[in-house]
Amino acid sequence: MKKFLLIAAFSVVAFAANLKAQYTTTNHISGLSNPVAFAFTPDGRILVTLKAGTIRIFNADGSTIGNFYSLTDSTFNDFERGLLGIEVDPDFATNHYVYAYYNHRFPNTSAGNTTQKLRVVRFTEVNNVGTNPTIILSLTPGYSIAGNHVGGNLRFRPSEPDKLYVTIGELAVPANAQLLTNPYGKFLRINKDGSIPTDNPFYDDGNPATGNDDRIWSYGHRNAFDFCFSSLNDSLYSTENGQNTWDEMNIVTRRKNYGWNPCEGDFLNGSTTNPCTNVNFTAPIETWGTPLPAITGIVHYTSCLMPEFQNHLLVSDNDNGYIYNVTLGNAPAYDVVTSRVQAFDLLGLTTLHQGADGYLYALNGGYAPNGRLYKIGPSNPPGNPSANIIIGIVPNEVCLGDSFMVMANEDPSNLTYEFTLSGPNSTETVTSNTATAYITPTETGPYDLSLVTSNGCITASAQAAGYLTVYPQPTYTLNTVNANGGPNGSAWLSNYANVTSIVWLDANNQSLSSNDSINNLPAGTYSVVVSNGGVTNTCQTTESFTIDIGGSVSEFAASKINMYPNPANSRLFIDLNKLNSKVTTAQVFNSTGALVMSQPVNGKNLIEIDVNALPTGIYSVLLSNGKQSYAARWIKN
């Protein structure tokens, strides 16, 4: 047994030595006069209660903003009494509510007045100042009470953001803890406006003064100091100060009786050998023996910034300034302690919280006239991520099927970047170790871009709505008519779709026209640029073509072709008797170059074309023998 104890002691020392090198503790805020509790706002500001009755507010970096509110004119602050717990509303971003627990002098004539109230007051934060103080809980014991066992912490349960839990000590009257007719020695559960939830376990008539106190959630507590909720299973873990023999850590459940004062810890009150055997009592999941350390703060640590503590409970004490690393087992209930190791040795502590940055914040306070808020984290922390999307040139447009480069500010350099483009019906995500990535959208339409950056533990995110528009590729058919036997050629687009721009270019890339057809083209090389895509004409296709002279003019001369009547009304006749070459096709084009009619000739010398259905206008007819072509204009009246 001695050998085992020696090994165990050596393990604790080695663990503490490793932690000392692995983690760094700094004074985030100093010069606090008897601080008791603190809370974070969603944007990182820090609210700290000072026992004498002032709530102080600080920036996230620890710099001072000023006084949030002062209750010094009405706070009873001797011994364990004073301005104690503080909590920020889960919906703070909308309602700006802050809640505080304090011992109120009643009437507030002198600090020595023995008549007092236990109160929870709600403030509305406006520009870092508490306004509109509203009492939502007020308890009047009705007798002179001792200066200790007044509880004083309050928390919202994440799964019940409209329910406020409050610890009330038994006011140094042990019998109170077992009575359901008063609120002392209890956990209370109220709505955020102070009304009583009808689903509370001892709710009877809604009036705490008659029958049960309807606000009670659990009972049999001596002086539950602090508590927290688990993000894994929503359990409520609480620290509780014992009288002489055992401090406790409990899982607090509705309706349960935690045994004070017949029992303390796992034993009868005052005993270390006689077990508590009352089956109606709920035993603690962990105890601390004499000399009692006065355990106080407790937090369920979830961040991977300090993986040694992830999903563990961290528990502090006031007498030694220790922080204990408590490992839980029996998943998913996590109602068994498998190990408890001292992790840090500081000055006397009252409250623990995990910051949004993953650091552990511990308050040295209570009876500390020069208290401080510690910040505990890795000696070599990874760079905290930021998420800043580089918008680039607006508008961002891309053609369907093409890749698009997304970018972020690289700050710091050891991050991963997850870019997600969200379209009307699809989502494309790419992860990169650099601040740039290429994404290929799979559908047309507008896309939003979201960015998540991570240092492997802490993440940051950003969104850019309407970041990108994806356009379809243009489609079309290019048609050309050579200048064979005639003075000029023509070109036109047919069957086109998703086209916002057409540009015809000559061999020197000089623009000739922006219509869907072009006529009177001398022999030469040309190109057409067909585009689609909003402001920037993102989707472009360029196609070249050639207009040839070709053939013999004497063979396909105008003098050998007789076309009548011209103008024509219903029938157009073409006499080819003087031609030596057989014509195979005859095509009719309108003035824009669009093909409107085509019919085989099959070597006929007289061609009859029904033009009755054509609208009035100028047309051209193209005759071809497969090698040479002849074009002539005619008028439809």
Nearest one of 136, 154, 155 to 193, comparing CA atoms: 136
Identify the pLDDT of residue 401. Answer: 85
Nearest one of 286, 272, 292 to 314, comparing CA atoms: 286
Query: 37: which strand partners?
Result: 49
Residue linked to tokens 């002086």? 223
CATH of domain 475-547: 2.60.40
Alpha-carbon span 324 to 297, nearest angstrom: 10
CATH of domain 33-145: 2.40.10.500
- pTM, rounded to two decimals: 0.68
614 by Cβ neighbours in 10 Å (0-12 / 13-18 / 19+) ranks as: middle
Alpha-carbon span 144 to 106, nearest angstrom: 12
Eight-state DSSP code of residue 174: G
Is the separation of the CB atoms in 88 and 61 below 8 Å? no
Would the CA dihedral through 611, 613, 616, 619 be positive or negative?
negative
Least confident piece of the model among 398-402, 424-428, 629-633: 629-633
Residue 529 backbone phi and psi in degrees, to 5: -110, 115
Nearest one of 130, 112, 113, 108 to 121, comparing CA atoms: 130
Nearest one of 355, 431, 347, 448 to 396, comparing CA atoms: 448
- The per-residue DSSP string of 340-352 comes to EEEEEE-S-EEEE
Alpha-carbon span 165 to 181, nearest angstrom: 18
For residue 157, how many other CB atoms are within 10 A of its CB? 15
DSSP H/E element including 4: helix 2-22
Would the CA dihedral through 196, 197, 202, 207 be positive or negative?
positive
Is the separation of the CB atoms in 216 and 166 below 8 Å? no
pLDDT digits (tens, 9 = 90+) for 219-249: 999 999 999 999 999 999 999 999 999 999 9
pLDDT confidence band for 158 (50 / 70 / 90): very high
pLDDT at residue 603 is higher than 80? no
Same fold, 397-471 and 475-547: yes
Task: Say which residues have a Cβ less than 8 Å from residue 215's Cβ, sequence separation at least 6.
Answer: 183, 186, 188, 189, 190, 196, 200, 208
Cα–Cα distances in angstroms (integers) from residue 262 to residues 177, 213, 278, 331, in the given order = 10, 21, 9, 31
Locate 73 and state its tokens. 């004119």
- Domain 397-471, classified CATH 2.60.40.10, yes or no: yes
pLDDT digits (tens, 9 = 90+) for 449-491: 999 988 777 788 888 888 888 999 899 988 887 654 455 778 8
- Where are the chain's structural domains? 33-145, 397-471, 475-547, 558-636
- The per-residue DSSP string of 348-384 comes to -EEEEEE-TTS-EEEEE-SS-TTEEEEEEEESSPPPP
Per the model's pLDDT, the better-predicted residue between 112 and 251 turns out to be 251
- For the sheet containing 236-240, what is the strand order? 224-229, 236-240, 247-252, 286-288
The CATH superfamily of 558-636 is SoxY domain (2.60.40.2470)
In the predicted model, what is the mean pLDDT of residues 336-358?
96
Residue linked to tokens 């870092």? 128
Identify the pLDDT of residue 145. Answer: 78
Task: Say which residues have a Cβ less than 8 Å from residue 309's Cβ, sequence separation at least 6.
Answer: 301, 325, 343, 360
Identify the pLDDT of residue 15. Answer: 42
pLDDT at residue 557 is higher than 60? no
pLDDT at residue 86 is higher than 60? yes
Least confident piece of the model among 26-35, 111-120, 203-212, 255-264: 111-120
Alpha-carbon span 228 to 316, nearest angstrom: 13
Task: Say which residues have a Cβ less than 8 Å from residue 424's Cβ, sequence separation at least 6.
Answer: 443, 445, 446
Query: 249: which strand partners?
Result: 239, 286
pLDDT at residue 4 is higher than 60? no
Is the separation of the CB atoms in 129 and 69 below 8 Å? yes
pLDDT digits (tens, 9 = 90+) for 286-299: 999 999 999 999 99
pLDDT digits (tens, 9 = 90+) for 366-418: 888 999 999 999 988 777 777 787 766 556 888 888 888 888 887 666 788 99
Is the separation of the CB atoms in 26 and 375 below 8 Å? yes
Q: For 90-203, where are the alpha helices, taking DSSP H only?
A: 92-95
Mean pLDDT of the chain: 87
Task: Say which residues have a Cβ less than 8 Å from residue 422's Cβ, sequence separation at least 6.
Answer: 447, 448, 449, 450
DSSP H/E element including 14: helix 2-22
pLDDT at residue 626 is higher than 80? no
Alpha-carbon span 292 to 284, nearest angstrom: 15
Identify the pLDDT of residue 466. Answer: 86
CA-based radius of gyration for the chain? 43
CA-based max dimension of the chain: 132
Least confident piece of the model among 122-126, 332-336, 444-448, 599-603: 599-603
Write out 18-38 in H/E/C secondary structure. HHHHHEEEEEEEEEECCEEEE
Identify the pLDDT of residue 405. Answer: 86
Task: Say which residues have a Cβ less than 8 Å from residue 427's Cβ, sequence separation at least 6.
Answer: 420, 421
Locate 333 and state its tokens. 């209930």
In the predicted model, what is the mean pLDDT of residues 187-198?
98
